[in-house]
Structure 1
Amino acid sequence: MFIDDDLQLEDEHGPRPVTVINRWLRELPINGAHSPRTWEAYALAVKSWAEFLTSHNVSLLASRKDLRDEISLYAQHRLSGELGDRLSSSSWNMAVKIIAGFYRWAAAEKYIDAEPFSYTSQTLWRPDGSKIEIQRNLATLRTANTHTGRKYLEQPFVDLLMNALAGNSPDGSADPRFRGNETGRNESLIGFALSSGLRAQEFAYLTIYEVPPLPGRSSSIPVTLPLAPPTTKGRKGRSSWVGFDALSAVHTYMDMERAAAVQGSSWNRKTLSGSRSQRMMGQNLMVSIDAGGI
């Protein structure tokens, strides 16, 4: 929730712009934005825009002409202004999308007469031959395709990272000066994450029940890695792939951790009821390979 410096939500002209922003934010969950991270990103984008308007003595709900003038100035400020204020092309496009969404909602709710952005229509053909019409906001910038803009960690840096996690020197030999712990876990899990390309949230909540079985023999073909919808972006669920060597390292660690945990124990599964036995076993395994605890 946002609030003005004088703690007022209304004045003689009615609800203040900050009140309108708060109402828009409250309705995000029922307008297609279900993630708390999305709410935060939307709030910060509109906040920055509102602060820029305030510095120019322009209302967030001004006329379309005034807002269009300010959008031009805001683009100059964000794309070619001071280095600390600049946004990348993708970040600028995201900010424009969020601000446009706010004004589209504000126009529908009669807070403004019309949204200040202009659009162009574009026709796309899908592989199945169907035609779709899309609109592009003319304030956005054209960016490279996703596959050309993606950044990869070069292999020498991957090798250096994996040696460091394993407690080795850069050349792969044992480092006698290393004083860290859990080298097997750290090396296997980070190798698994690098191989599968998991997002931070997906990696943090990964459990052993989601680790695919190890194929019977080595193969250059990666193994499918299904991911649970609650842990993926947008809660849509997806599948990734993981290499055989990375998967094998994780299974080796799981087997070693389990054997070390029960060595010398008199515990026997037969002494427990079925459901309780499975529950306790699951808890032990979850602790041993919680991907968030590196």
Structure 2
Amino acid sequence: MHQSTYSSAGWESWGLAFRPAIPEGMPLLFDDDLLFEDSDGVRPTAVINCWACELPANGCPSPNSWPYYVRTVREWLEFISGRGVVLFDTRRRLKAALSAYSVYRAQGPIKHRFEASTWNQNMGILAGFYKWAKDEEYADSEPFTYRQAVWAFKGQVRRGRVNQSRRRQAKPHVTIKYLDDDFTDIFLKALAGLDPDGERDPRYRGRELARNSAVGRMIVSSGLRSQEYTYLLACEVPLLPSRRTAVPVSFPVPSGITKGSKYRESWIDYDSLAELHSYIALDRAAATFGSSWRPPARWGEPLFVTDADERGGRVNTATACGVTVGVVARWSDSVISR
């Protein structure tokens, strides 16, 4: 079984009248013979692919999550196939396979074991897959058993079902992993080209030390994801308060760079924000001042942005009489590509 990523590039040469309605970048499964059906009917890989293509409309819009979802079902299929169980087998055989799978992921080879949180996440994905398969009439049964549960919060009572295959796990505050203060300090000094004592390290051969130090401290303080700080614009960095404060400064994270495109708010300490502004105002300006580089002419007219702030900027769209005419565009608009 193989897993590949879909791309519509060159679809015109496939002999189709229309572009396939498959999301770009969607992971798809293929059997070794590249067939999607045989004398027994539609193969499990084809059903999994149908489910995968509907993920963006079924509560999983992030392309970063699609490969994990598909891999979860693929690994389950590979495991049960090795034990003579098919993907849509009888409930009794599926439950027996799930029990064996639970032991395999808990006590099997070390590299294949799951932590409780990972196991629960996998069970959630498989439960969603089998629910979809039953709704689409591919499956008559599923391997999971549920019990009724009641939740009470702030005087409100909710009832629902709990998957019995889930494992107990520690509360979130117990599982959060923090960098030790000593290690964090050494790490940030290393980014700046300094040794553990804070002195210049003559053996260091890195570049952009001010940038590395400023961005590193921002990440440690604010907790931004790699996708978020990679595409964060300089004009989206929050303003530095006029006075030093011990209270963390609000750090809005634009929806265009967050996971799932959902706006969120983080926080950053004053000193880390001050160092970041110092880098933007001095070191970054010094590195770009007087540069004559322009994109190659074959790329077309370069994109110039002026009057930029945290919401958007003025983007050139045409040139008339030697004067660039621009329109105001928001960073969240499709016109701007990060």
Structure 2: how far apart are the matches of 1:11 and 1:262? Answer: 61
Distance 2:145 2:123 in 1: 12
Unaligned runs of 5+ in 1: 266-274, 284-294
The structure whose residues are more often helix, as a share, is 1
Give the alignment of 1:24-43 within 5 angstroms: 24-43=51-70
1:132 matched residue in structure 2? 158
Q: Give the C-alpha shift of residue 83 in structure 1.
A: 0.8
Q: Kindly provide the amino acid, as one letter, of the partner of residue 99 in structure 1.
A: L
Shift of the alpha carbon at 1:59? 0.7
1:171 and 2:193 are equivalent in the alignment: no
Conserved in 1, the CA contact under 8 Å of 2:30 and 2:36? yes
CA contact (8 A) 2:235 2:308 kept: no
1: CA distance, partners of 2:76 / 2:130: 12
Alpha-carbon distance in 1 for matches of 2:208, 2:59: 42
Partners of 2:62 and 2:267 in 1: how far apart?
25
Distance 1:44 1:35 in 2: 15
**1:232-243 matched pairs, under 5 angstroms:** 232-243=258-269
Structure 1 residue 252, shift from structure 2 partner: 0.6
Are residues 220 and 57 of structure 1, via their aligned partners in 2, closer, same or farther at CA, if it must alter by over 3 Å? same
Runs of 4+ in structure 1 deviating by more than 4 angstroms, as ranges, are 261-265, 279-283
**Residue 179 of structure 1, CA deviation:** 2.5
Amino acid of the residue matched to residue 138 of structure 1?
Q
Of the three residues 278, 288, 291, the one matched with 2:306 is 278
Q: Unmatched 5+ residue regions in structure 2?
A: 1-27, 292-302, 315-338
Report SS of the residue matched to 1:162.
helix
How far off its partner does 1:215 sit? 0.5
Contact 1:63 1:112 survives alignment (8 Å): no
Which deviations, in whole Å up to 9, do the C-alpha atoms of 1:165-187 show, x marking residues without a partner? 11111111222333222111100
1:134 deviates by: 3.3
2:271 alignment partner, one of 228, 242, 245: 245
TM-score, reference length from structure 1? 0.87
| Pairing 1:174-189 to 2, within 5 Å after superposition | 174-189=200-215
Bigger RCO (CA 8 Å, 6+ sep): 1
Contact kept? 1:96, 1:139, Cα under 8 Å: yes
Distance 2:135 2:109 in 1: 35
1:18 paired to 2:45: yes
1:119–1:135 contact (8 Å) kept in structure 2: yes
Give the counterpart of 1:89 among 116, 119, 131. 116
Q: Distance in 2 between matches of 1:65 and 1:219?
A: 63
Give the aligned length: 274
Partner residue of 1:75?
A: 102
Kindly, what percent of the aligned residue pairs are identical?
A: 41
1:56 and 2:83 correspond: yes
Cα distance in 2 between the residues matched to 1:102 and 1:209: 42
Pick one of 132, 135, 139 that aligns with 1:108: 135
Decide whether aligned partners of structure 1 residues 235 and 133 sit closer, same or farther in structure 2, where only a CA change above 3 A counts: farther
Pair 1:176–1:19, CA change in 2 (3 A) = closer
User: Which position in structure 1 is the counterpart of 2:149?
Assistant: 122
- Structure-2 change in CA distance of 1:253 and 1:70 (3 Å): same
What's the counterpart of residue 200 of structure 1? 226
**Distance change >3 Å, CA 151–CA 65, structure 1 → 2:** same
Task: Name the one with the larger strand percent.
Answer: 2
| Structure 2: distance between partners of 1:62 and 1:178 | 60
